[in-house]
């Protein structure tokens, strides 16, 4: 699926209250969970007991991370490089893994 398809699918399937597990290539599921609070055409908003404020994942950040997702999962791109694309990689990774049906 393309990064734009991933965005559209996330917006369509992730409803407020949906719980998503954080995931990374090196650690697998990290034990951190977060919930979808809201979404609109330009962002997905998440919350978690591990942070004090809602986090807003902008469409542009999501698209950048999703575009590199396969290379990240295949070990071609390191986590540090992904972090340069967005401060929300933890949440985008979890959403992308969720979209792959692993929830």
Return d(Cα 11, Cα 15) in angstroms, integer: 8
Look at 5-14, 45-54, 55-64, 84-93 and tell me which has the smallest mean pLDDT. Answer: 45-54
Beta partners for residue 19, in sequence order: 35
How many residues are there in the chain? 103
pLDDT 10s digits, 19-76 = 999 999 999 999 999 999 999 999 999 998 877 899 999 999 999 999 999 999 999 9
Buried b (16+ CB within 10 A) or exposed e, 17-45: eeebbbbbeeeeeeebebebbebeeebbe
């Amino acid at each position: 699926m393309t990064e734009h398809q991933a965005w559209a699918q996330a917006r369509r399937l992730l409803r407020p209250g949906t719980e998503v597990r954080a995931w990374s290539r090196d650690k697998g599921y990290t034990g951190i969970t977060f919930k979808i609070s809201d979404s609109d055409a330009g962002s997905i908003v998440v919350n978690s007991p591990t942070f004090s404020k809602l986090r807003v994942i902008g469409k542009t950040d999501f698209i950048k991370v999703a575009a590199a997702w396969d290379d990240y999962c295949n070990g071609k791109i390191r986590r540090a490089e992904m972090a340069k694309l967005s401060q929300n990689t933890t949440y985008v990774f979890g959403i992308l893994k969720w979209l792959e049906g692993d929830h």
